[in-house]
Amino acid sequence: MAGNNAQTFASYAQRYQAYAGRNQGPELIFSAAFAAGSRFTLPNPINLSRPLEALLVTWRGRIEIGVANIAVLAAESPQTIINNFQVFGTYKGTSQTPWNISGATAFAMAQCFGARGNSLIINGVRQPALGVPLAQAGATFGNIGTFDVEIQYLLPTWPFMANANRAHNSRQFYWQSQDWNNTLQLQMTFGDSTSFGTPGAGTTTTFSAFGSAAGSPTVTIAARYVILGSVKDGFKSSLVTRNESTVTSLVTAASAQQIALLQRQKTTNVIVKSGSILAGTSAFANVFTSLSDVQLDRTQILVDNKAIRNNQSNPQAKEHAGIQYSTVVPGGYLPFSFIDAQNPWTAFRGDDANVVPPGASFQLMTDILTANAANGINFIQEQIIAEPNDPRWMGTR
């Protein structure tokens, strides 16, 4: 690192110590009534007058199930009530989508990379952390009864990493006004009764306000702004994107099957989700009947047919991820982290021609162990789209 560059960074780093990790808590930016099966878009772009590090979305309402129990309960209900989150806008002149993800996967991601996941509270009781297996019990939610439900979904701007490292390694990923030019939007697709599972004969589902038999559930969106003071303009922000994709064609047991070609970008984390897709849902839903840790094995990321994570056992890879992040990785989820040192500067340089040569494949591969027409695999490549002008990025590989 050149001397002037080092001095500039040292001065900036010293000033940043006074602000690292400071935020202004969740600040309400909008509250909307929930309407089953509808699509909601914020009426105005997200306010970025201050740097933003995360959105916190809360679904809160009463769900009354009558006449008959839900016959086949979705594994991740009721957090499936939000089918999709999309955050999109024009970033430095280019259309980008930082988030495009199902509500169930958004809920689980925090648990994949941290000791504490998002909160699901049913009838005043915070439900246990997602575990193995990941499945909902009808007595908790899904049988005939009245359920007052609160679901919290965190959508951070930074790559998923341990909270102990977040304050010092997240600042370059904050969303800032000069990058988005008042274009950043949030859109949600709301689920309906089929998002919870397959109804029994005559099952009825009624939505109302939290704690009441009248009114409507609410969805509130809060922003967590950070305080940067004099260091606010000391760097350009970078951008992390997470787009969940679904593969439903891998239904036959076979070895070394390609799940997808990955994007040639700096990659921080890759998450694979596997199980059986629920039939009979509304067209816009992506809901799993069950999640499985034994559907796949030897899931690997390859460059030019060479494994960059030489995984020979999914159970071992999953246990490794849990130890690295001090968590229990939920059933059906398998994360691969390139920042398990908890530092995003160790991201895999998929954008570098020396790492992924021109013409070489950048693949996500797996063995399919169980043949089933309902097999479903979702994957997310968490990737860094642009480099910040932080000196520590310069020359890294």
Total number of domains in the chain? 1
Q: Confirm whether 363 is domain-assigned.
A: yes
User: Is the Cβ–Cβ distance between 286 and 378 less than 8 Å?
Assistant: yes
* Span 83-140, pLDDT tens digits: 999 999 999 999 999 999 999 999 999 999 988 899 999 999 999 999 999 999 999 9
Q: Does residue 149 belong to any structural domain of this protein?
A: yes
Q: How do 239-247 and 348-349 pair as beta strands? A: unpaired
- pLDDT of the residue at 17: 56
Domain range spanning residue 35? 21-393
Residue 1 is assigned to a structural domain of this protein: no
Would you state the pLDDT for residue 269? 95
Please report, as a single letter, which amino acid is at residue 375: N
Give residue 164's pLDDT: 63
Question: Does residue 12 belong to any structural domain of this protein?
Answer: no
Which among 156, 150, 158 has a CA at the least distance from the CA of 220?
150
Which DSSP letter does residue 192 get? -
pLDDT value at residue 346: 87
Q: What is the CB-side half-sphere exposure of residue 150 using CA atoms within 13 A?
A: 12
What are the C-alpha distances in Å from 158 to residues 26, 89, 121, 301, 343?
A: 16, 17, 26, 22, 11
Q: Is position 13 within any domain? A: no
Total H helices, total E strands in the chain: 5, 23
Give domain status of residue 10, yes or no.
no
What global pTM score does this model have? 0.90
Query: Which CATH number fits the domain that encloses residue 29?
Result: 2.60.120.20
Q: What is d(CA 156, CA 176) in angstroms, rounded to the nearest whole number?
A: 14
- Indicate whether 371 belongs to any domain: yes
Quick one: three-class SS letters along 46-81? Answer: CCCCCCEEEEEEEEEEEEEEECCCEEEECCCCCHHH
pLDDT for res 53 = 92
Q: What is the pLDDT of residue 11?
A: 58
Residue 42: inside a domain: yes
CA–CA distance, 120 with 81 (Å, rounded to integer): 12
Distance CA 177, CA 32 (A): 24
Point out the residues of the chain with pLDDT beneath 50: 1-2, 7, 9, 18, 389-397
